[in-house]
Chains A and B, each alone.
Chain A
């Protein structure tokens, strides 16, 4: 049934685009507050209520617009507030700052210096968002609207030409032409595999069958990657628009978004967006007055990493256990309910409207020979500016980590960057100048994955990192095929032994041998790529493995059995703080006399190391 607000034809949509983009010009100022998960964890919700209250008190609600937006990307400095049109950027904003912001900045145009971003190198303050190095070097095509629009307002999306790509497709292009355009753009799947999107669409379109499905994979299971969540939370309509275009090209009438259960806010915002899209007649029967009928259901995952794999995901939507199958028959021919099914991930879908609007030729001009467009990375770990960054393919690792990310905190030394999630690999400092794209990352023994980029410094133990990923993969292996189920378990056991100081001569070679078997013989991508963390750390950090095995030492001071805490006599002031806090009474000494640790009692909980104000506790 059509609602009263349903858009009857394409012209009405263009009217809405015009109406809501002009609305922006009438606003005197707008205040965009990041309400993504990162900032919420930093109490952004109470900040928003404080703003609302103050706006009411000052009676400025009419002229100044408050926007609860999705993630702005620079999570490290959250909660973030940007005041437009001047783009004044405030960081670490607390509810108690609100009165000042309203009085000074919003009403009198004054800048509050204490809330500005400060350049770490020369302590210079930066006022405008776009001048902060973190933003300056990015190219935010897909992620760009996140900081501007309210994800729960479809009107905001109309105001940034929302659904105009869909209108273009429905009026000017045949399904065949849409597929050609996507093929020509060179878009490759952003979820991990990097398969050409256009080719995938074509094979699903060509597959036999009346009922076809399109699915959005939002089961972002890679620990340390959250760009898909932030897109769904911050700009759900861009994903929905991409899916409708895909459905038109492929000939599908039903779509699914398979989303992680751990992402409640993404589910909530997506539900609102779907509801609104239906209200405006952008989903349902006869979309925009054309013959196209299409709708989208949400399916929430149950917390299984393997369900990010296409065949497992489809079984999970059907309400079954998510165990992958061999793919001698592709899901494009027989997928969900054994019907032709096209699966792309969130970021891939969000690229589609941009390609349609701006053209494949323009899109092709960004990126490298075989990787076009931009990619969103979540830059996390031991890096100054933790957050989400969108960059053109081909940018170097060094530019991402040092120019955008601001380098390593605490003056520590960069050791490696891990890309591609648990199935990816660790890339050492010698390769920092390599361009980042699908093929280059694979060439050095890692992969693009969904775009997690975890920076590691000299305090990270590479053997422990490999052990960590293997423990994750052992836990997440569905157990269907032997190489993955047992092979990865054996790898984990050996790595565990090494990190516990029980490593033996020949362990490295044994790891390599098992890893190769697991890689060659596993059924699905989870198993096939599981040995990557082991192989890549052995390839680039073999000496660390050897130190663990032969010298029984963990140079980074991570593996508990392979280092001790000690107190430096010359630095210890005898303040008794560590002594009082030690849960094992393992620290002895008199007030104002250097303390010492009884090694037999120490459980290496690290509390003394944390609480010492004089850097007197060290790892040896």
Chain B
């Protein structure tokens, strides 16, 4: 039921005199996109979100390659945009959260922010209209990359024992509290961090897209299928709300990309922190 170029499934024709069946609210099953290469052995995994992800990577790479192809001291329009983007990530995200060694992690953070942003904006982009990260597998993969990076830099800086101690052994805590606190810190820092990181992105994209589906399909039902005149007249309000919610979604998509990046930076910063 998700409308797009790749997934348009022709609806069965409804005879005009047929009794209208009840409205079926859109649910999670609307996110199961039929595969493109059905039955082809190697390409079976290659569905719409995978294609979107590749397109997003190409867009991000192409934008930054084009913007920095001929760098000049007085930047052109494209170069200015790329520099501004990099500057925001470097100054507001990396420097504030990581500390003095922030410079090495700026490329990863810039790429992460841009990649998530493009993938999220696909959710309201005409003819694509499907947020890639509303499939949880995509978000898990992204969170795993962050998980590996912050654990790796922590272990390299502090040593394995020192790193585990830093994450689970906060200083100045009475021993009775430690019995409870250390397992909680361990679970929270090593297991729950990637889980919440990915579920937050996935859940926001899923919920936002579901909201748009409810308003649009609800409005369509009220306009075309419903028998009552009142519902027909009220249906433009559903579409109006769908438009308002689309703008709200755009805001949420930017905020989620920002939050994913900022949390990655803050986890890296926590791994690198010196003991106080």
Do A and B come together as binding partners? no
